[in-house]
Chains A and B, each alone.
Chain A
């Protein structure tokens, strides 16, 4: 609890925490939605915001507020799947590379370096073209996680590399601790804070890529996410027709979400170690 109290002293953490709480509440509200998000024409079309429709309605005849609750929920689900699965890959790769060293290390780091260097976005476009018909939240989340681990595996590896040289490693090995136990019991606690802060960064990356792919029309358009909402608004020329309530909703929500996630991760990593500030501004 002291940790939380200290974190809340940082205005960035307090602000981002509040914004995230509001967004999560909004996502939870979707369970009480009076409308089915996949149905069209459940409300009158193109209404401005009013008491009945808080954020107005769109050209598909959907209520924008309730649609947005589903969008936030689904975007968060995708980013959580992508974040958690890619964390798993990053942890495994980083720990093995850091602990084994030698050729294993070089091969694994070569793969992760290549992933960092290649314009992944294009490969993802290719992949989503091919799996478009199977596309749903889980598939998209998994797809993003395959590509999202490289940078963080490097960070975890560097932590393990420094831990390996510490004295307690030798003590543990000499007293007969196996490799697996060693990594899980002795090293994980040290790497955990870093893993958590990279999780937040990765979630933000996943939400951004989902929006990008949705704008290109490469995801399932009937599942409301921040990206598909934006796509529909653009398709129906909401900007030209001055329907600001429609185009504005996903843009404002995603701006809030990105800034909140970023500020939270910055604040946490500064709290953990002022020197890691260098790492937070690295790629991704």
Chain B
């Protein structure tokens, strides 16, 4: 009971408050800008030379007005906005009229989800294992060499890094395809050639995310392990003749992992943004590319849909990681 009261309930309250704050921000940002978003969107569409017959035009105006929730007072608009969010209704896309935004997100989502799951898990585990070892054996040559590599890779933003990798591996060496999720025209099917194709195309975007994310985990883990290593209880265990395997797995790693789990939760939002940008570099058909096309076409509904959806998805993912935390930390579990 104490656990529920002290950990679970405050965490759940925070979860709902963050979603509330995020959605509220999405609601207010367009309203603080001093121009009529409906007219502006229409102007942008016209400026781009897209022809719309009057019927479609009226539909779009109605849909825009409803989407921006511009009927009634701000209070009513705000409530209507929440109603739409709860129903998961983000309106229709203007440039793939009249496909609902939901459907477009649904098509792109599996790609992003697959990429994110694989890269986050790999970069977290690999970064922590290698970082942990490098921290424990911090005087060895290979440990210092890895540290230097991490120091060089770490400050680069995903975009620049992905770009350098793309130039190197796809153009100079020509090992991997430059872009896309599969070969052009391949049908979605669950057989080996299709899966192999997807893997080959996903390799570069995944590699750039894993190296950059791994470098961050490597650095943090290495420092934490170095610090834990210097603690009295580890020194005492060594003097007391506890085997090295046991010291590493039970004494050092267990303690060092805790801040890394919190770190994973905190950095999920950044990993997500990074993945979106990486997708754009490699024209990988996920949410990032969808977002890019939405921006290029001025498809405001789609951008709003992706933003609202992502806020919801990311905060939920962080909540799940946080709720798993007590499994690793007995102090939270028993108090």
Contact = CB atoms under 8 A, between A and B. Distances in A.
Interface of A: 12, 110-111, 113-114, 116-123, 125-127, 129-131, 204, 208, 211-212, 215-218, 239, 247, 251, 254-255, 258-259, 261-263, 266, 277-278, 281-283
Contacts of B266: 116-117, 283
B295 A216 contact: yes
B17 A119 contact: no
A179 to B, nearest CB: 28
Given A122-B310, A259-B156, 11 more contacts: A114-B17, A114-B22, A119-B310, A120-B269, A122-B273, A127-B29, A129-B295, A130-B29, A212-B159, A212-B277, A278-B227
> Which 8 A/B pairs are nearest by Cβ-Cβ distance?
A262-B155, A208-B157, A121-B273, A258-B155, A122-B307, A130-B33, A119-B269, A281-B219
Interface stretch (B160-168, B191-199, B327-335): B160-168
B152 interface: yes
17 contacts: A111-B21, A114-B22, A117-B266, A119-B272, A119-B273, A121-B277, A123-B22, A126-B30, A130-B29, A208-B160, A215-B159, A217-B296, A247-B167, A254-B160, A255-B160, A258-B155, A259-B152
Interface in B303-330: 303-304, 306-307, 310-311, 314-315, 318
A163 B39 CA distance: 54
A118 to B, nearest CB: 5
Interface of B: 14, 17-18, 21-22, 25-26, 29-30, 33, 37, 151-152, 154-157, 159-160, 163-164, 167, 171, 216, 219-220, 223-224, 227, 263, 266-270, 272-273, 276-277, 280, 291-292, 295-296, 298, 300, 303-304, 306-307, 310-311, 314-315, 318
Nearest to A134: B33
Contacts of B171: 239
B300 A129 contact: yes
A239 B270 CA distance: 28
A261 B151 CA distance: 12
A281 B220 contact: yes
Nearest to B164: A251
Nearest to B300: A129
A124 to B, nearest CB: 9
Nearest to A247: B167
Chain A contact residues, majority secondary structure: helix
A259 B155 contact: yes
Nearest to B37: A130
Given A119-B272, A119-B310, A258 B29 contact: no
Nearest to A209: B157
B224 A126 contact: no
B37 A277 contact: no
A217 B44 CA distance: 15
B310 A258 contact: no
Contacts of B25: 118, 123
Contacts of B220: 278, 281-282
Contacts of A118: 18, 21-22, 25, 269, 311, 314-315
A145 B30 CA distance: 19
B156 to A, nearest CB: 6
B33 A131 contact: yes
Nearest to B17: A110
Contact of B157 (A126, A212, A216, A239): A212
A114 B18 CA distance: 6
A100 to B, nearest CB: 20
A145 B29 CA distance: 16
B43 to A, nearest CB: 11
Given A130-B37, A211-B157, A258-B155, A117 B310 contact: no
A126 B156 contact: no
Contacts of B37: 130
A277 B147 CA distance: 14
Most chain A beta-carbon neighbours within 10 Å: one of B155, B157, B263, B269: B155
Contacts of A111: 21
Contacts of A211: 157, 159-160
Contact of B216 (A251, A261, A281): A281
A165 to B, nearest CB: 23
